[in-house]
Amino acid sequence: MNVTIVDYNSGNISSVINSFTEVAKDRVNLEVTSDLKKIKSSDKVVLPGQGSFKSCIDALNSINGLTDTLDELVINKKKPLFGICVGLQMFANVGYEETETKGLGWIPGKVSKIDNKNGKYKLPHIGWNQINIVKDSKIFKNIENNSHMYFVHSYEFIPEDKNVISATTDYSSNIVCSVEKENIFGTQFHPEKSDKIGLKIIENFMRL
């Protein structure tokens, strides 16, 4: 099985690479690349994202043909894709970080700044927080509800269809922290920084 981590210069993804490598061991052929041919031949794709919504979208768009290749894989061929942090946020139609920016449009919705209730909540939301699993998601197999995951973000994904939400976390409000729609999976938290439970989520994705 070929699993590709898309490297599109979106910041430091070494912890993503290390954790997926640890889970893959010798069972999975893991590639870290922006080569369209290799991405096209993938069985599963991982889309990391660090930085702002706009900077990640700009970085994706700067590689000629990359968004079309991802669309083809995810929307037409229905290959499993896992978006992490801004990788999840980019599923939206639009993001409002820095400036209004068009997203990938895979899951209708928007990415807006977390309401910090006039400074009551610090931004970014950073550190460990519990997740509330709200639907039976394949990536949460054998994960206990209220497990702690590691977060670093100031913006939240608000999907139009609440049925895609697989987990929320309580910070200022019920923030969407995981989605699942057919073959598309995403977490706002960082599984690669969430210790053994995070590695279990990565393993669940690899075993789909």
How high is the pLDDT of residue 137? 95
Q: Look at residues 49, 42, 101 and name the one whose alpha carbon lies nearest to residue 72.
A: 42
Scored b (16 or more CB within 10 A) or e, 163-186 reads ebbbbbbebeeebbbbbbbebbbb
Which active-site residues does the annotation give? 85, 190, 192
Q: Domains of the chain, with CATH numbers?
A: 2-206 (3.40.50.880)
**Residue 192 pLDDT level (bands cut at 50, 70, 90):** very high
pLDDT one-digit tens code per residue, 113-129: 999 999 999 999 999 99
User: In the 8-state DSSP scheme, what is residue 24?
Assistant: H
Helix/strand/coil for 75: helix
Placement of tokens 């706002």 in the chain:
188
Enter the tokens of residue 189: 């938290």
Enter the tokens of residue 110: 């928007």
How high is the pLDDT of residue 187? 98
Residue 19 in contact with residue 192, Cβ under 8 Å?
A: yes
Q: How far apart are CA 146 and CA 47, in angstroms?
A: 25
Please indicate whether residue 11 or residue 192 has the higher confidence score (pLDDT). 192
How high is the pLDDT of residue 12? 87
How high is the pLDDT of residue 26? 83
Q: Look at residues 50, 36, 58, 137 and name the one whose alpha carbon lies nearest to residue 89.
A: 50
- 100-58-95 Cα angle (round to 5): 25
Cite the beta strand spans of 26-108 per DSSP E: 29-33, 44-47, 81-84, 94-95, 101-102
pLDDT one-digit tens code per residue, 90-115: 999 999 999 999 999 999 999 999 99
**125-139 average pLDDT score:** 97
How high is the pLDDT of residue 118? 95
Whether the full predicted model's pTM is greater than 0.85, yes or no, is yes
